[in-house]
Amino acid sequence: METAEITYHRLLKRQIRKSLSPELAENPEFQDFLNSVNQAYLEFQDDIARVEHILEQSSTELFRANKELISIADQKTEEAASTNRRLEEVANSISEVLIQLNQDGNIIYLNNAWETVTGFKVTDSLNKNWADFQINSDSKTRLEALFTGKTKSVQDTFKLTTADKTEKWLEISISAQLDSGEKVIGFIGTVSDITSRKAQEEQINRMVEWFNESSEAVQVSDDNGKLLFINHEAARRLGKKQEEIIGSHISSVEKIFEDPERWEEYLHSLKGTSKMIVTGVHKKTDGTTYPVESSVKYYETDGQGYVLAFIRDITERVEAENKLKSYMRDLERINAELDQFAYVVSHDLKAPLRAINNLSEWIEEDIEDHLDGDTKDQFKLLRGRVHRMESLINGILSYSRAGRIKTTKERFLIKSLVDDLCDTFSSKKPIEFVFEGDPKRELLSEKITLGQIMQNLISNGIKYNDKEEIKITIGWKDGDVGIDFFVRDNGPGISPEYHEKIFVIFQTLQARDEVESTGVGLAIVKKIMDEKGAKIRIESTMKESTTFFFTWPVNEIAETEKI
């Protein structure tokens, strides 16, 4: 049988030529063995090829993955750098100082706020020890406790001498950094500039001292009615200590706020105005109460509302008001009795006077044929005295009521009032009335009372006038506090020494037999002006004129003048 030629693997072929004799190589049995070995070589070669292929693919993927990892690493590095920059920007933008120190107390990090607060440059301050800066001794002692391990954190305020040699108040909050073994590896914290706050606190403390020295009670509460502060005087009046009251609700001292709804209503009203004056009733420790009047103002700061009240004890005022009300009631009763008395007296006096007048007329009629000239004059004089007595009684009655009986206010033209008055006067001599004032001037006032004054002044100017032709000038104009009036006559004038005397009741400058007068008219004018709190004055030129000036106070003026 012919053996088929076998193509051995190149490595096996090399070993056959090198190590086997031709006889052994051609041996059929050994060839079977060589064939098996050759098959193993071929399979191994296939396996090697597959492994190489796999390795080549893996190497490509590994290269690609490595490239992606490098890209991701670069991206994360950039993101970390960007985040770090942003964190640094944030750190440098805040107003608080961020500070980090190592375990020896040397500064290893500061943000830019350090330069703003202290004036020292960050670059010059790094690696310096905290003790190199000028800090007040008390604070230095407390900070040493932190750096020597006696405490793990410190929150304190201290004074620091800045780069420009000024002093600033700073607040520090700093804590120790520990490793896993609780060993201190450094310190980190914040530093804030509280100089302005300290100044405000000092100002507040001074205000508290002032309030405590004040003789007026002062209290401060919040929106909820909680008392945040009261001064010594407020506590003294209440019979309590300050610490017993501060922190309690305002209803514990103010009776009207025992009803919670009253506080809400009060607060709502207070927020709608700049300041309020309110009355209340404060409660003492012993259960007694006393009336108060408070000047109250609402403030709002940082979203928190505060109610500041200055409180006055008005016990004496209330008692005085009660007494005054009692006096007013008594006065009203007395005035009513006086009116009744004046009416009765005037009625009882007028009755016999009228009887005398009538009786004289009857007698004169009965003996008319026997009366001579002197007797008729005596009867005429008698009736004149009766009329004078009746006028005097009427004058006394008018004087008693002048300024006391309030008349209704009404709106009227001044010119109309004066025209009506002038129409009522008559005289044997011709009278000329001259007006100097705005004929359209209107006012809202007591027309009857003003008319009473004008009537007496005009009558006075006519009655005592010595000129053949009487001239009365009446004027009015707006003044600072009311309407300025004057009444001028062209009479004989009044000597300065009588300028005050003529306003006294029953006083006349001429004998009553020469000029019939009661001496009550100008007294009535003066009494009304005194009741109004106004003045009347005289200017006079002897033998030429007399002018009475007065200002009529008004509460309201014409609507057209309000616009």
Residue 2 pLDDT greater than 50, yes or no: no
Collapsing DSSP states into helix, strand and coil, what is residue 487?
strand
DSSP conformation letters of 490-532: -SS---GGGTTGGGSTT--SS-TTTS---S-HHHHHHHHHHHH
Contact 451, 474 (CB under 8 A): no
pLDDT of residue 561: 39
Contact 373, 381 (CB under 8 A): no
**Tokens representing 82?**
């960007």
DSSP run (H or E) holding 471: strand 470-478
**Tokens representing 41?**
């070589």
Contact 176, 152 (CB under 8 A): yes
306 φ/ψ sector (left φ>0, alpha ψ -120 to 50, else beta):
beta
**Tokens representing 88?**
């640094």
pLDDT of residue 506: 47
In 3D, which of 453, 425, 438 has the Cα closest to residue 522? 453
CA 442/CA 419 separation, integer angstroms: 14
List phi, psi (to 5°) of 539: -125, 130
pLDDT of residue 158: 86
- Residue 53: strand pairing partners: none
Please calculate the CA angle 366-367-372 and round it to the nearest 5 degrees. 150
- Residue 301: strand pairing partners: 304
Query: Burial level of 34, CB count in 10 A (0-12/13-18/19+)?
Result: buried
In 3D, which of 52, 15, 19, 18 has the Cα closest to residue 37? 15
Please calculate the CA angle 332-456-498 and round it to the nearest 5 degrees. 100
Residue 5 pLDDT greater than 60, yes or no: no
pLDDT of residue 392: 57
Collapsing DSSP states into helix, strand and coil, what is residue 126?
coil
Question: What is each CA distance from 506 to 436, 520, 523, in whole angstroms?
Answer: 32, 6, 8
The angle that helices 373-401 and 315-366 make with each other, rounded to 10 degrees, is 160
Q: What is the dihedral of CA 177, 179, 180, 183, to 10 degrees?
A: -90
Residue 529 pLDDT greater than 50, yes or no: yes
For the chain, give the percent of residues with pLDDT over 70.
80
Mean pLDDT value of segment 45-69:
81
Query: Burial level of 231, CB count in 10 A (0-12/13-18/19+)?
Result: buried
DSSP run (H or E) holding 146: helix 137-147
CA 106/CA 108 separation, integer angstroms: 6
DSSP run (H or E) holding 159: strand 153-161
CB count, 10 Å around CB of 173? 14
429 φ/ψ sector (left φ>0, alpha ψ -120 to 50, else beta):
beta
CA 115/CA 119 separation, integer angstroms: 5
Q: pLDDT category, 558, cuts 50, 70, 90?
A: very low
Give residue-wise pLDDT tens across range 111-166: 888 988 899 998 999 999 888 888 888 778 888 888 888 888 888 888 889 999 99
In 3D, which of 345, 365, 367 has the Cα closest to residue 357? 365
Higher local confidence (pLDDT), 304 or 14: 304
Give residue-wise pLDDT tens across range 200-255: 778 777 877 887 887 788 999 998 999 988 888 888 898 888 888 889 999 999 99
- How many C-alpha atoms does 34 have within 13 Å on its Cβ side? 23
Contact 296, 307 (CB under 8 A): yes
| One-letter amino acid for residue 366 of the chain | D
pLDDT of residue 486: 95
Collapsing DSSP states into helix, strand and coil, what is residue 331?
helix
Residues 6+ apart with CB under 8 A from 137: none
Higher local confidence (pLDDT), 81 or 444: 444
pLDDT of residue 406: 60
Contact 280, 292 (CB under 8 A): yes
Mean pLDDT value of segment 474-484:
91
**Tokens representing 349?**
């006096």
